Structures are given as structure tokens and as C-alpha cells.
Amino acid sequence: MSGSLRSTHLYETHVTVRRETSAEAELLDRWATATGLKLTRIVLARGRIPAQPMLTRTGSPSYAGESARARSGSSRTGWCGR
């Protein structure tokens, strides 16, 4: 087999967000809607941080392209860890 393999699907970026208050959850919801991101609310049965909102962005057909978009987006929005 020669050549490079290319996905028939788009790669996605998933970012789990830490929030502290209900007000922050509301702001995150509005921001995700305004920026075209999908917001999924993950709630675990137990653990130190049971509520884990996750943002999803559908992106590029290549891993390299989506990885670059994720790095660019995380630095612009402050997604990089604290």
C-alpha cells in the first residue's frame, strides 16, 4: 500500500472544562453557543470533580490540521492548563 492514509471523517477536539459555580456554567453555555462549539455535560457518580463540562469542535480531515487548530484555539481562549 502506498501513499498516505486519510480519514473519511473529521477529527474533533475535546476539551474538558473546570467550572466552580452555576454562574460559570451559564457563561460557558452561552460562550459555547456563540462560538459554535458543542457543550456536553458529563456528570460522574463520584469523584473529586463529578461535574465535567466538555467542549467539542469538529474540525479537519487530518490529525495534523486539527491538532494545529486545537493548539491555536487553546492559546487564544486560555484553554491551556492552569
- SS3 of the chain: the string is CCCCCCCCCCCEEEEECCCCCHHHHHHHHHHHHHHCCEEEEEECCCCCCCEEEEEEEECCCCHHHHHHHHHHHHHHHCCCCC
pLDDT (tens digit, 9 = 90+) per residue, 35-58? 888 999 999 999 998 889 999 988
Give residue 1's pLDDT band: very low, low, confident or very high (50, 70, 90). very low
Find the farthest-apart pair of alpha carbons in the chain and give their distance in angstroms, rounded.
54
Number of Cβ atoms within 10 Å of the Cβ of 66: 19
Residue 63 has pLDDT above 80, yes or no: yes
63, amino acid identity? Y
pLDDT of residue 20: 75
